[in-house]
Structure 1
């Protein structure tokens, strides 16, 4: 980061004040962080150019203590306090607060030069005594009560009380942060005037010991959870506890999903959460006589394969280049019957997908084939191909994506696990296309589902055909 001279700072301020240049513009021009520029401009605006003459200022222990108390006890912002006191940066006050907490809520003024062993021992003794005095001071006690109230109070609401395990974890964190004993923290929590969720000393230690026994009780399973988690994460995205549980059940582990969830949370193994993205829409209006009735009515599932199929088109935008996937999903096991990948969402893509699906399954009379109202599904050629094989066409209501929820769910899984957040892994559309093909094979043959009792879609399909 560029170091600014006094002349640079004055010039920078004049550009902002009189030429109305923004902080972002000045940040790029002078090569300085935006937050630092904003702080500097406000500092000069408050104190004038004389504040720039202070090259080095000694700050006494009392001065630092007053500044720290204003932030910790009076709830003033670090930025505002630093500006008011004329500090060269807000980071200076932030460092004081960090050092204050690290030294047991005691301000330590470091002397220059290397200290001898005797001096260091004397310093430690003084710091220990100062820490004892500090912990007995009313200001420190008030701050501790405030921290305990804030942390424990956030766990509960008016309707729902937090589980004892959450309170115990919060108490452990408070012990580390404040350096207090368990007795002091529990006294504040269990005080009837504080209206906080209670926790007894015996309960706390029982939970603490139980948490430590996890490694003994679930040693092999924890190892397997971690290996499954990182294996899938490396391949696609971080899986959630349900996916991990299904894999464990397939390997013979008898475990409740909530136990897996608790262990994953304990080891900070969190599943990926997808952010909403703009979706592709193939709707371009309605052709009279081509709109079909919604025969599915959100009753998506079927007992046997080839009774309900679903289709739609989704778009992949990779660095401005687009790829379109058109799959067919069976309502029995949720497996992908056929699919086609194209550079444009044209009729040829949908018709090729249909031909591939008809090769896999020949007898489709009475099948309900559901889609949205996209122009491809209103085309004469598409509707004729379905009619020739005795397939009944079904369509969602206008602009109602939940009517095709099963297909939308598959697109969500597909993009969350192998595309969103991993766009940089694909150099071109060819690599992305290959990755989609591989994921569909993984989804059909290797990815177990809760709804299918831990089976993969293809395993469930084959089981249904045998039955």
Structure 2
């Protein structure tokens, strides 16, 4: 403003805006502490990502698995795979793995595997049979090939190699929900013959499988001559389907008729 007044005069309007007071900025030490905390968080997340990725590659585990629930042998394999990138104490802390346990299992892994050839044979048999053979059938296949090994060894090796047969448990459908009330009296006693119309009626629900989906038919049939008194169709076997059929059947009879 002083420069403007000297060069242009005070009468010239000022187009400049006054400088706002900026809020006090954080000190350099505080910013460095925040930056260091962010770096640690990034490193921790990267370690978590690498552990899950290695668990998926080496152990065939799901990416959402809890790493603390892994077996000690599996944790040892993860630590060995990432020791070139991360420090050993950092890996052991994240996996909640004791240092002594790690070196013990590492020494066991360093021994010669007497079942190395058998492992390859079991994996080949499992994959050749579309991952459908359990340890009993694998053991039978090995016996036919002249391999003398117990079922327990086959089961242990298949467990270590994560050779698991995928099974789907199917729940059997049942409409029975328990006795809700006393059973009605058996008036018909399996005598489905009638002397006159509208004396005895029969009803049931039939399911039809169509290209567009399932359709349910609910009819009422007269025992006298097999006449279809009424019927209803729906895509769901619910109370509305039966009630609609029953209401239509009641409209066809007189006041004095009381069919069973």
User: Fold conserved (TM > 0.5)?
Assistant: no
Highest Rg: 1 or 2? 2
Which has the larger share of helix? 1
TM-score under structure 2 normalisation? 0.35
TM-score under structure 1 normalisation? 0.22
